[in-house]
Amino acid sequence: MDDIMKELQDLNIGKIKQNELLAHHTTIKIGGPADLFIEPSSVENLAKVMEVINRHKIPWRAIGRGSNLLVSDKGIEGAIIKLGAGMDSLEINETTITVGGGHSLVSLSTLISKRGLSGLEFASGIPGSVGGAVYMNAGAHGSDISNILTRAHVLFDDGVMEWLSNEEMAFSYRTSILQKQRPGIVVEAVFQLESGDKKLIVSQMQKNKDYRKETQPWNYPCAGSIFRNPTPNYAGKLIESAGLKGFSIGGAKISEMHGNFIVNAGNATAGDVLALIQHVKDTIFNLYKIKMETEVEIIGRR
């Protein structure tokens, strides 16, 4: 990796590190080292990074703010590309906004609400990036990204950059085409919002934030919701009815506030979290014959 790192440094594409612990870059504060950790300073430099990665056939993965992510204790082979500063542009044109994939979703929703624009109220407490939110069709409070996105600018793993329409993103519950069929990085998103009453929008935003504070354990490091809701059931209610709230393995613990959250209660490892996930799956299946599927993405060396 030394030669590849030198090549990237010569291109002056942004921040580059070797063996960077991903525990520093995930909201659950867990994760071993990445062979290469790259934070491009612009879309153009991201394209340069992808060209080098493709030429050297390096496996890669993009992250934003590290929510909805569990990284192996053994780390990740290849490169982690983080979208952050330099990838967080914002352009507002009446009710249409074009925003960089590295922009914070929370700060975007707050800023937009103060402009009297409605449509992002659901995102007021989602601690991720715009790119990650589009990638996984993030949602809450009865709405999600698919309801407001008109198109996404995506850099695919072959180096091609393309605009995809809402329909081409193939959105479904917490899913998009980028997760399996066409891996890529969302570098920009275009959202269509609506003009509304600023006071009502800000009030709804605050209600959503308060609800999250009252019902979800954001005072502990966590990755967000662990399991998908097995319709028509709710994952949190199933876990609570099984008596699993507060159950722990090692430093990982099922939140006593919300059954669908696993928190890092103190020096938890990915192994602890994985063991706890499996325990929940086994318990729920034995009790209710329901198969639980994870919403959190689990990546890295096994």
What is the per-residue pLDDT for 157? 80
Q: Which residues pair with 36 in a beta bridge?
A: 18, 79
Question: Is position 174 annotated as part of the catalytic site?
Answer: yes
> Confidence class of residue 287 from pLDDT cuts 50, 70 and 90?
very high
Mean per-residue pLDDT, 26-52: 96
Q: Is the pLDDT of residue 294 over 90?
A: yes
Structural contact between residues 295 and 72, judged by C-beta atoms closer than 8 angstroms: no
Q: How much is the pLDDT for 204?
A: 92
Task: Give the pLDDT confidence score for residue 152 in this predicted structure.
Answer: 98
* 225 given a catalytic annotation: yes
* Mean pLDDT on 199-210: 91
pLDDT 10s digits, 138-160? 998 889 999 999 999 999 988 89
Residue-wise pLDDT for 208-230, tens only, equals 888 888 889 988 999 999 999 99
Residue 85 confidence (pLDDT): 86
Burial 88-114 (b: 16+ CB within 10 A, else e): beeeeeebebbbbbbbbbbebbbbbbe
User: Which CATH number describes the domain made up of 2-82?
Assistant: 3.30.43.10
Nearest C-alpha neighbor of 277 from the set 196, 223, 211: 223
Q: Where are the alpha helices (DSSP H) in 146-269?
A: 198-215, 235-241
Ranges of each domain in the chain: 2-82, 90-200, 218-299
Choice among 72, 104, 113, 225 that is catalytic: 225
90-200, CATH topology level = 3.30.465
- Could you give the CA distance from residue 128 to residue 80 in angstroms, rounded to a whole number? 16
Catalytic residue (choose from 39, 121, 188, 295):
295
Angle between helices 105-114 and 198-215 (to 10 degrees): 150
Does residue 295 carry a catalytic annotation?
Answer: yes
Q: Is 246 within 8 Å of 253 (Cβ atoms)?
A: yes
Percent of the chain with pLDDT over 70: 100
pTM of the model: 0.90
What is the residue-averaged pLDDT of the chain?
94
Q: Name the active-site residue from 174, 176, 188, 255.
A: 174
CATH number of this structure's domain 218-299: 3.90.78.10
**Is the pLDDT confidence value at 259 over 90?**
yes
Confidence of residue 55 (pLDDT cuts 50, 70, 90): very high
61-93 pLDDT, tens per residue? 999 999 999 999 999 999 999 998 889 999 999
Q: List the one residue out of 238, 229, 218 whose CA is nearest residue 288.
A: 238
